[in-house]
Structure 1
């Protein structure tokens, strides 16, 4: 680590805040580093040399106003603390952007690996990889089994009309990030806007559930679910379809732009993931065409937004140069998925 402030995190104001908000949590001069791999909210490991914590804040520069709500992330993880869904302990939250330049929160530094690459999993062997991917699915089942009212999240979102709002929201995000023509993306939006199905029983939706948003320990157990910035109440099938889309992405786009963990030997296939989730959850997965179309649209818009920030010099870290090339294949797959309905 370095004593210099990492981009987006002035350490002296953070230390003053923690002295009041979480006395005794950290003491003395702080050091921090940006944890690599984040392409949205920024995540830092902060230490006083004795103990480490994690700080999360929104990305630098161009963002949709409602897309990086630190208060929502902090709230949902606090609410899930005593459920079967593994989450870090929350230490403090600061809604005031004047302290470090943006709202942020501070949480437990949970040991574990956010497996992103097939190469990282490959050394574990196929049997362990299969077990990890199975526990990934089981964790999603556990999340969708939580009753929002029972954990104080009954008002965390509006399940009625959720799918329609998702279509409108991601179109809004697209319009805020337009810098070039993307073939088929408006056609995909129009197809989604005109084909919304009946919504399933609502639940807590993570919004970006995938293996590299989980921390897996050395015993292959899921220790924490991270990156709750898009969490809400709605149709859980959106999480299922998005996970399915993530698992198929490495076969469609440059592996530099996405996680290719699903290509590791032993990893459950996308169809096996659906079968395991359906059996454990009891949810009907017989018609995912709309949800898959929405998942690919959402991923395309997210990557287009990251590409826009990259072209504006507003990204932090490496690995952004191939993001823009991944957008068109996702749009094409989204059109194929929804036309299968």
Structure 2
């Protein structure tokens, strides 16, 4: 395979990656790689070197927004979560030298499994498998939110107090820097959210992008699907666990409900998958948390998603993300639609 891209920020460079792996005693011989995944943010490669089967995860090409695509921080979070028993990727090696690929990256073992998006694996279309996927989706989130966070190293990955307020300030301040158009609902929703911030009932690890598409499933012969890995920890921190649940509910695809560009696993519209209210009920039963204000968290999730998607659209329009040509044009209408859905939730609340 030839190098992908040219110059200091090329996405992958076989010889530099080979040298990096050689220095750390990972595999032997030449390197081959192929890009995998459908992420709209960071870039992932499956890398083979001798008997080593690996995944390399890196950010997109620079320039990068401040604090975004921080692979070094993501690797630290995964290492901190490793003793928890959660299905998180194992970090084998971290590269903080941006001269190799233009940005830092880390390497983990390749794990075989299924990620559900717009199709189901063969034989997974029975009601029991679909229900198991939905239940695993909730139960894995419950397990994440139950991990103790008061001791290092997890205590050092974030500041849970004031998490919601910081989210509002951070995303509210991003719009003008990432957009080229006027969309009054951004400020209107930001004001609505800011005047109604709930008091968190608990502090926990908050994944920040918890949805079906960020879970990998395995299914043993004769068994039901089980969560094998939780992926994409770039936005993880310590905060209010209901922010994760609100995001999961707001971005879950459901038959008869409005669609959006953030429903990245439309397969769950099929019969047998749990509906949003059923997902919420299972989470509440397991955690004992009061979900009477979950609509606020759903509106927050869609408002944040709209701002994040606007940044993707603008970078694509500026020629910085040519690889997003299949997704970014949908954001012309997709971003206002996300804001309208958030507005509808706010009015209903």
Answer yes or no: is the 8 Å Cα contact 2:251–2:262 preserved in 1: no
Matches within 5 A, 1:184-223: 184-219=185-220, 220-223=225-228
- State yes or no: 1:297 paired with 2:303: yes
Taking the aligned partners of 1:107 and 1:249, their CA distance within structure 2 comes to 33
1:264-301 Cα deviation digits (max 9, x unpaired): 22111000000001111121112113211111111111
Could you tell me which residue of structure 2 aligns to residue 228 of structure 1? 233
Could you tell me which residue of structure 2 aligns to residue 275 of structure 1? 281
Q: Which runs of 5+ in 1 are unaligned?
A: none
- Determine which of 15, 20, 23 is the counterpart of 1:17: 20
1:76-131 Cα deviation digits (max 9, x unpaired): 21122232310121101122222210011111111111111155588522220111
Taking the aligned partners of 2:237 and 2:171, their CA distance within structure 1 comes to 15
Taking the aligned partners of 1:215 and 1:338, their CA distance within structure 2 comes to 32
Could you tell me which residue of structure 1 aligns to residue 165 of structure 2? 164
Taking the aligned partners of 2:119 and 2:181, their CA distance within structure 1 comes to 32
Answer yes or no: is the 8 Å Cα contact 2:253–2:259 preserved in 1: no
Matches within 5 A, 1:1-341: 2-5=1-4, 8-20=11-23, 22-23=24-25, 25-118=26-119, 123-150=124-151, 152-219=153-220, 220-248=225-253, 251-253=257-259, 258-315=264-321, 316=323, 319-320=326-327, 321-341=329-349
TM normalised by structure 2 equals 0.90
Matched residue SS, 2:142: helix
Answer yes or no: is the 8 Å Cα contact 1:203–1:234 preserved in 2: yes
Matched residue SS, 1:82: helix
Matched residue SS, 2:164: helix
1:235-265 Cα deviation digits (max 9, x unpaired): 0000000000111488434669733132122
Q: Against the structure 1 CA distance between its residues 252 and 304, is the aligned structure 2 distance closer, same or farther, given a 3 Å change threshold?
A: farther
Q: Against the structure 1 CA distance between its residues 186 and 335, is the aligned structure 2 distance closer, same or farther, given a 3 Å change threshold?
A: same
Q: Which runs of 5+ in 2 are unaligned?
A: none
Matched residue SS, 1:171: helix
Matched residue SS, 2:229: strand
Answer yes or no: is the 8 Å Cα contact 2:54–2:110 preserved in 1: yes
Answer yes or no: is the 8 Å Cα contact 2:74–2:233 preserved in 1: yes
Q: Which has the higher contact order (CA 8 A, sep 6+)?
A: 1
Answer yes or no: is the 8 Å Cα contact 1:256–1:322 preserved in 2: no
Q: Against the structure 1 CA distance between its residues 127 and 257, is the aligned structure 2 distance closer, same or farther, given a 3 Å change threshold?
A: closer
Task: Report the number of matched residues.
Answer: 338
1:166-201 Cα deviation digits (max 9, x unpaired): 011112332321122335122111212222121221
Comparing 202-211 with 288-297, greater Cα deviation is found at 288-297
1:2-29 Cα deviation digits (max 9, x unpaired): 3433651222222222222x21x12222
Q: Against the structure 1 CA distance between its residues 191 and 99, is the aligned structure 2 distance closer, same or farther, given a 3 Å change threshold?
A: same
RMSD: 2.2
Answer yes or no: is the 8 Å Cα contact 2:178–2:310 preserved in 1: yes
TM normalised by structure 1 equals 0.92
Comparing 216-225 with 268-277, greater Cα deviation is found at 216-225
Deviation of 1:226 (Å) = 0.6
